[in-house]
């Protein structure tokens, strides 16, 4: 049995109704075995965590990690221009190895800023899975599928290969979904096929929805429906777990259509702000009982994968939209970035809160900083004052991936060398 004891930290379990307390966490064989005020157990390794907060690792519910290679390459453009003129041409050059190193760069940033699991939609997904396996992080992976041309079933075959070959790998760290890219890139016929397959095999779906006004106009012109109505009519919300990214432009009846859905919405506030997309109806969705988690989207648009930036942006945007600072308080935003995102990835039975029996996915945040003193309200301090750089230790499945800000599984010099060279080749002349 492999054991780890974390001593003397402020523990935030994120279990509804539980107050923060000073205590210890004993981890055995990758799971939280005991958590409480004072634990006397032998352990292979002890971390003295005085002045640190232990909380569940953050869960990034929508990402394209490999796009970290395209960070700060093409900013301040409209989404459709950005995608068609910059991202897609650069992505067309990406090899399997580029995706491996791009993903590893993204994972390094996530581990360094306290993210322990992410949902990813991209291409060359076996390379993404290998990067997840090698780094020790947890992920829900999907091969994003654009159906704008007949590819003889190639994309679908790749998507199913990922599911068949990688589901459950890395001691269960890898899970998988099917990923039709978006309403505007998926016509009814292929999309219906994906939905039927997902229902038959009970595979969750991951899709972009209603990100821009232009998307709404396109779908209106083609089908005389809102993007949400389009997915609903094809049967997507009938007995299938669906992870919806963005969901910015929903009207009242769209929100009503999502009522009772399995899965929910990944809110991506920084990307939505930066692309000028709009403010998602987070409060209305939550009031309708829809699960709302949080993600960054790729660093190609968001420019950072720091979930602490998303937490701040999410609450600020709701407060501004409603002209009311009581909307989306600190604790609710932290829940969105942990347990609610875990529900979207369908891994909330294993992670998302600190409880005995769950997988040990947690982070330690160093409070010994000028901007984190004094500690009146720990939720407010973490949501409004902390940044990813305050994360000291990142643990997934009981394995230490970063300690005292030093990577334990990744080799930073090698990542830097590979990512730099590959990134400049991808954008040359674009």
297 binds Zn ion (CB under 5 A): yes
State the minimum distance, in angstroms, from the CB of residue 120 to ligand SIB. Answer: 9
CB 57 within 8 A of CB 363: yes
Among 71, 155, 312, 359, binds ligand SIB (CB under 6 A): 155
Judged by CB, which is closer to ligand SIB: 47, or 87?
A: 87
Among 24, 54, 59, 64, binds ligand SIB (CB under 6 A): 64
Determine the Cα–Cα distance for residues 128 and 231; give it in Å rounded to an integer. 28
144 binds ligand SIB (CB under 6 A): yes
State the minimum distance, in angstroms, from the CB of residue 425 to ligand SIB. Answer: 17
Q: Is the dihedral of CA 239, 196, 341, 126 positive or negative?
A: positive
Is 208 annotated to bind a ligand? Reply is yes
Is 241 annotated to bind a ligand? Reply is no
Determine the Cα–Cα distance for residues 204 and 140; give it in Å rounded to an integer. 10
State the minimum distance, in angstroms, from the CB of residue 182 to Zn ion. Answer: 9
145 binds ligand SIB (CB under 6 A): yes
State the minimum distance, in angstroms, from the CB of residue 341 to ligand SIB. Answer: 17
Tokens of 286: 């939550």
254 binds, among ligand SIB, Zn ion, none (CB under 5 to 8 A by kind): none
Is cis: bond before 35, omega within 30 of 0?
A: no
Stretch that binds ligand SIB, among 235-243, 296-304, 374-382, 418-426 (CB under 6 A): 296-304
Long-range contacts at 85-92 (CB < 8 A, ≥ 24 apart)? 86/430, 87/300, 89/430, 90/426, 90/427, 90/430, 91/123
Among 83, 160, 279, 389, binds ligand SIB (CB under 6 A): 83
**Which residues are bridge partners to 363 per DSSP?**
55, 394
Is 41 annotated to bind a ligand? Reply is no
State the minimum distance, in angstroms, from the CB of residue 246 to Zn ion. Answer: 7
Is 211 annotated to bind a ligand? Reply is yes
Among 206, 208, 335, 358, binds ligand SIB (CB under 6 A): 208
226 binds ligand SIB (CB under 6 A): no
CB 222 within 8 A of CB 183: no
Stretch that binds Zn ion, among 163-171, 295-303, 400-408, 412-420 (CB under 5 A): 295-303
State the minimum distance, in angstroms, from the CB of residue 96 to ligand SIB. Answer: 14
Q: 31-36 and 21-28 as β-strands: parallel, antiparallel, unpaired?
A: antiparallel
Stretch that binds ligand SIB, among 3-11, 139-147, 257-265, 361-369 (CB under 6 A): 139-147
Is 217 annotated to bind a ligand? Reply is no
Determine the Cα–Cα distance for residues 342 and 345; give it in Å rounded to an integer. 5
176 binds, among Zn ion, ligand SIB, none (CB under 5 to 8 A by kind): none
Binding site for Zn ion (CB under 5 A): 297
Please report, as ranges, the residues that interact with ligand SIB according to CB under 6 A. Answer: 64, 83, 87, 91, 121-123, 144-146, 155, 181-182, 208, 211, 271, 297-298, 301
Q: From the annotation, which residues make up the binding site?
A: 62, 64, 91, 143, 154, 181, 208, 211, 297
């Amino acid at each position: 049995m492999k054991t780890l004891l974390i001593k003397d930290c402020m523990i935030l379990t994120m279990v509804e109704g539980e107050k923060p307390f000073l205590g210890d966490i004993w981890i055995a064989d990758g799971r939280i075995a005991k958590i409480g005020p004072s634990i006397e157990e032998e352990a292979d390794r002890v971390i003295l965590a005085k002045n640190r907060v232990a909380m569940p690792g953050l869960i990034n519910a929508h990402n394209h990690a490999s796009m970290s290679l395209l960070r700060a390459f093409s900013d301040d453009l409209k989404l459709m221009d950005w995608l068609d003129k910059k991202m897609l041409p650069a992505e067309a050059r990406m090899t399997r190895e580029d995706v491996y190193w791009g993903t590893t760069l993204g994972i390094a940033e996530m581990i360094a800023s306290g993210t322990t699991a992410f949902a990813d939609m991209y291409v060359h997904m076996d390379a993404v899975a290998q990067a997840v396996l090698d780094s020790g992080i947890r992920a829900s992976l999907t091969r994003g599928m654009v159906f704008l041309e007949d590819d003889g079933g190639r994309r679908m075959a790749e998507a199913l290969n990922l599911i068949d070959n990688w589901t459950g790998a890395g001691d269960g760290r890898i899970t998988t979904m099917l990923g039709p890219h978006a309403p505007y890139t998926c016509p009814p016929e292929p999309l219906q096929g994906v939905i039927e397959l997902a229902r038959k095999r009970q595979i969750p779906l991951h899709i972009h929805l209603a990100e821009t006004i232009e998307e709404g106009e396109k779908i209106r012109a083609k089908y005389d429906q809102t993007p949400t109505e389009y997915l609903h009519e094809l049967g997507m919300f009938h007995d299938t777990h669906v992870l919806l990214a963005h969901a910015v432009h929903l009207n009242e009846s769209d929100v009503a259509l999502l009522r009772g859905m399995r899965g929910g919405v990944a809110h991506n506030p920084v990307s939505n702000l930066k692309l000028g997309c709009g403010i998602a109806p987070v409060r209305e969705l939550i009031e309708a009982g829809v699960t709302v988690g949080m993600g960054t989207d790729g660093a190609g648009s968001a420019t950072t994968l720091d979930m602490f930036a998303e937490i701040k942006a999410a609450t600020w945007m709701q407060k501004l939209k409603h002209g009311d600072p009581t909307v989306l308080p600190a604790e609710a935003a932290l829940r969105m970035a942990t347990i609610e995102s875990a529900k979207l990835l369908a891994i909330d039975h294993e992670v998302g809160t600190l409880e005995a029996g769950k997988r040990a996915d947690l982070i330690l945040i160093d409070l010994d900083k000028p901007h984190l003193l004094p500690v009146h309200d720990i939720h407010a301090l973490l949501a409004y004052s902390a940044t990813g750089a305050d994360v000291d230790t990142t643990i997934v499945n009981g394995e230490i991936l970063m300690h005292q800000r030093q990577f334990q599984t990744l080799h930073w010099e090698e990542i830097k060398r590979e990512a730099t060279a590959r990134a400049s080749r991808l954008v040359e002349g674009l």
